[in-house]
């Protein structure tokens, strides 16, 4: 009796387990399979760049001011005019300066006459003193008066020279050859030069040779060296790229929003005059480059399969020279770096350019596989690859595609060969190090 009950219980329990398994299998199969998005391993060039912004300027600019105050009476140049050294640019009203010259001239004539009178008086005193007709003290007073008069003449001459110099300052001349970039005054405007010389014009020496003052953060400044090539663009000329060379990395730093920046001077040629002073330039400094190498998108190096993907596509086989596991081995115990083993350990090489990376792909049976690679330089979008298990044209997973129809989802789950061509399940052969 007891035996029959035990048989009935065991039979019922087995039936429940079987039904539960069938329900679970039906539920799993009813779930749409994830659709992968693939990236292709390509061959090409990779350039590592440091980007910064800066302002275009002439190599040498001169601010033209005035040393005298007054009203601007005439302007002889305007914006964008080409000028020669010594060319008359503007004139300050000279009337007051001319009056100053006339006054200094009159004062010089006056003190000169006084000095002549003092000299004549002293000559007479000497004659009288030799005859004993005047006291010695009178002769000494005459000598002192003559010296004072002669000193007054010297002072008056200096004042006359100063007045003439101030008169010459009312004419503003170009100090260099160049182009008038700024004109800050108009006719009739009064300028005051009591404390500092006001700027009337700004002249750029030669706009065919220009420079960019770019601001580079402290985290990247160590990669910038003198003589390094640079490329830049400006908003005014979309689609055009210009080249320059790093001339100087200035030691003086500036801090803005708690970010330390250094000024990098980039020199460039502007023969056709397209580039104008003041334009904002987006500068890319070439710090590393590799030509004709294998590369893949950074998204593929960042991709990690979810638990659902692992459940549907099975355990992965690591295809590398130093660690290999067979398909179907337990992910938890795989020591060769299968999907489970890789996820159980600390992730390595998941980011682009850190020296070690992992790429996921589907083999000819639709099983998920791993190709371990060494990563090189990155340009922000793609990264250089090296490894024996990657080759040009290999298709690797770089994410899950957004699907809207179950048919497309199911088709993505069917076993196919995303590697392109006939590739073995262990990964395509590729060029080694």
Binned at pLDDT 50, 70 and 90, residue 351 comes out as: very low
Residue 284 backbone class (left: φ over 0; alpha: ψ -120 to 50; beta: rest): beta
| Per-residue pLDDT reduced to its tens digit, 201-222 | 999 998 999 999 999 999 999 9
Q: Which of 339, 333, 344, 355 is nearest to 303 (CA)?
A: 339
So what's the pLDDT on residue 432?
34
Is the C-alpha dihedral spanning 67, 71, 76, 82 positive or negative?
A: positive
Alpha helices in 75-94 (DSSP H): none
Percent of the chain surpassing pLDDT 70: 77
Average pLDDT in the 23-46 region? 74
Identify each DSSP E strand in 112-185 by its residue range.
171-173, 178-183
Residue 389 pLDDT grade (very low, low, confident, very high; cuts 50, 70, 90): confident
* Residue 350 banded pLDDT, cuts 50, 70, 90: very low
Confidence class for position 400, pLDDT limits 50, 70, 90: confident
pLDDT in tens, 309-322: 888 886 555 554 44
Position 24 confidence tier, pLDDT thresholds 50, 70, 90: low
**pTM of the predicted structure, to 2 decimals:** 0.60
326 vs 298 pLDDT, higher one: 298
Question: Could you tell me if 153 and 111 are in contact, meaning their C-beta atoms sit under 8 angstroms apart?
Answer: yes
Rounded Cα gap, residues 140 and 121, in angstroms:
12
**Cα(266)–Cα(283) distance, integer angstroms:** 9
Percent of the chain with pLDDT over 90: 53
Predicted confidence (pLDDT) per residue in 279-288, tens digit = 999 999 999 8
- The mean pLDDT of the chain is 80
pLDDT at 234 over 90: yes
Largest CA distance in the chain: 176
């Amino acid at each position: 009796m007891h035996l029959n009950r035990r048989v009935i219980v065991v039979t019922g329990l087995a039936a429940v387990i079987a039904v539960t398994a069938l329900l679970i299998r039906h539920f799993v199969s009813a779930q749409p399979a994830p659709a992968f998005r693939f990236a292709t391993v390509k061959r090409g060039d990779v350039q590592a760049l440091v980007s910064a912004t800066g302002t275009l300027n002439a190599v040498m600019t001169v601010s033209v001011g005035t040393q005298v105050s007054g009203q601007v009476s005439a302007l002889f140049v305007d914006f964008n005019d080409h000028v020669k050294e010594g060319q008359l640019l503007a004139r300050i009203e000279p009337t007051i300066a001319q009056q100053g010259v006339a006054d200094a001239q009159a004062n010089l004539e006056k003190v000169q006459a006084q000095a002549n009178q003092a000299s004549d008086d002293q000559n007479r005193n000497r004659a009288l003193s030799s005859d004993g007709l005047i006291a010695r003290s009178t002769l000494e007073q005459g000598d002192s008066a003559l010296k004072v008069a002669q000193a007054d003449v010297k002072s008056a001459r200096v004042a006359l020279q100063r007045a003439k110099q101030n008169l010459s300052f009312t004419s503003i001349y170009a100090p260099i050859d160049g182009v008038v970039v700024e004109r800050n005054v108009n006719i009739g405007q009064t300028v005051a030069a009591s404390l500092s010389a006001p700027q009337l014009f700004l002249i750029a020496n030669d706009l065919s040779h220009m420079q960019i003052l770019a601001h580079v953060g402290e985290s990247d400044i160590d990669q910038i060296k003198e003589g390094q090539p640079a490329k830049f663009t400006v908003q005014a000329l979309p689609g055009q790229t210009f080249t320059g060379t790093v001339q100087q990395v200035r030691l003086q730093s500036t801090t803005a929003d708690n970010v330390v920046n250094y000024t990098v001077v980039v020199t460039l040629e502007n023969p056709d005059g397209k580039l104008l002073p003041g334009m904002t330039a987006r500068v890319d400094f070439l710090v590393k480059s590799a030509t004709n190498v294998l590369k893949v998108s950074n998204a593929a190096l960042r991709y990690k399969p979810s638990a659902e993907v692992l459940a549907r596509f099975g355990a992965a086989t690591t295809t590398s020279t130093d660690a290999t596991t067979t398909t179907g081995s337990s992910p938890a115990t795989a020591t060769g770096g299968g999907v489970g083993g890789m996820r159980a350990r600390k992730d390595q090489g998941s980011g682009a350019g850190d020296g070690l990376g992992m790429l996921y792909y589907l083999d000819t049976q639709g099983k998920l596989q791993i190709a371990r690679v060494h990563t090189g330089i990155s340009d922000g979008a793609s990264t250089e690859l090296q490894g024996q298990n990657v080759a040009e044209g290999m298709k690797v997973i770089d994410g899950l595609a957004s699907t809207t129809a179950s048919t497309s989802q199911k088709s993505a789950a069917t076993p196919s060969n995303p590697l392109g061509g006939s590739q073995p399940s262990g990964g395509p052969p590729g060029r080694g190090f």
